[in-house]
Structure 1
Amino acid sequence: MSATEPAQAAGRRTKLTVRAAFVVANVALVGVFIHQSLATSSFPVASPSDARHGALADGFVPAGVKVFDDEIPGVANLDPELLGALRRAATDAAHDGVEFFVNSGWRSPAYQEQLLTEAVSKYGSREEAARWVATPDTSPHVLGQAIDIGRSDATAWLSKHGAAYGLCQIYDNEPWHYELRPEAVDHGCPPRYADPTHDPRMQR
């Protein structure tokens, strides 16, 4: 054996040790990622956007909520007559393969103010924001008298059949926004406003 052979053998052992340590570290990292993935799927937490949009108790409605979900305050706190009409319509729409999802329903005054503040930031002025979001003092959502329905097949169904249940689209620019107009059952829905700024209720 030459004088360099022990050194070469030691070098090979060092490389093997480093490679083994690298493999162990990678396995550990994979284990951490798997654990985190399982934890996330088993125990979902609110996303930052959920926190920004408010709490369930204030009327924030998470994705996938339907008009029959009484445990969601945004649904449960709707005016009983409006909710009853919505549920009758949703039951009949289901026979046509259409589901009613709730994008927004009842809102607390604080949540309505938060949405208005966000709209002002988005549209650049309070005047422009008023075309989309009312004040807490004027919003029918705060009174539980309005609902924003998703998805497009549901709004299309309501556009065609809603009057039979007293459910009417109120604004041209918001095809998802519905309110109860009982007289519509016999006389059809009233003419729509171009947007909320044309609604006399919003002028208070």
Structure 2
Amino acid sequence: MTRPSSGTPAPAPRPRDSAATTELLLAAATAEFAEYGFAGARIDRIAERAGANKRLLYVYFGDKDAVFEAVLRRQIGELAEQTPLVDGDLAAFGAARFDYMAAHPDAARLAAWRRFERTEHWSQTEAESYRAKVDAVAAAQREGRLDDSLPAIDLFAIVLRVTESWLDAPPALKALADGGDPTAQSRLSEHRASLVETLRRLTEPRAQD
């Protein structure tokens, strides 16, 4: 027997907001990879963090490698946007990079995991970002605005590591910080000032004899 129609049409299924879902999955994947690295991360946990079906990860990104690369592209883009190298000013660049890493510990952890686990995997986007900065350093050296006693690529590499010198320092060294809290704002501000002074001394042109 056919039931009479109530006269009210059934609600249409809500369209999936793919952009919002992608953002949720990327945020969840970022947290997962930052905590566990590539090898330890699990697709199931990423989906659980995002409150989504794990099938969507494969639909939007592909396999685990593709998810990790998407996370790295996002991090590289945000870092490049927040830490521009203007006029070859490596001291200002280093300070901005320190600020970003201090405010985004997931980015610092991702970078550490990647150096440890994925040394042979890098994207063209990342390579181009570094090339542009190294070229900017070389131009500033030619124009006399930066010390030219070191190759541009080496000078830039040294600056990169110096910006993370406190954030990536051994725990036993951090424990020596006055006040006992290596992440306190006063400690970070003190180190930031030391960082900027170090980079200025390292990169400023040497006086000619």
TM-score, normalised relative to structure 1: 0.30
Bigger fraction of residues in helix: 2
- Which structure is larger by alpha-carbon Rg, 1 or 2? 1
Bigger fraction of residues in strand: 1
TM-score, normalised relative to structure 2: 0.29
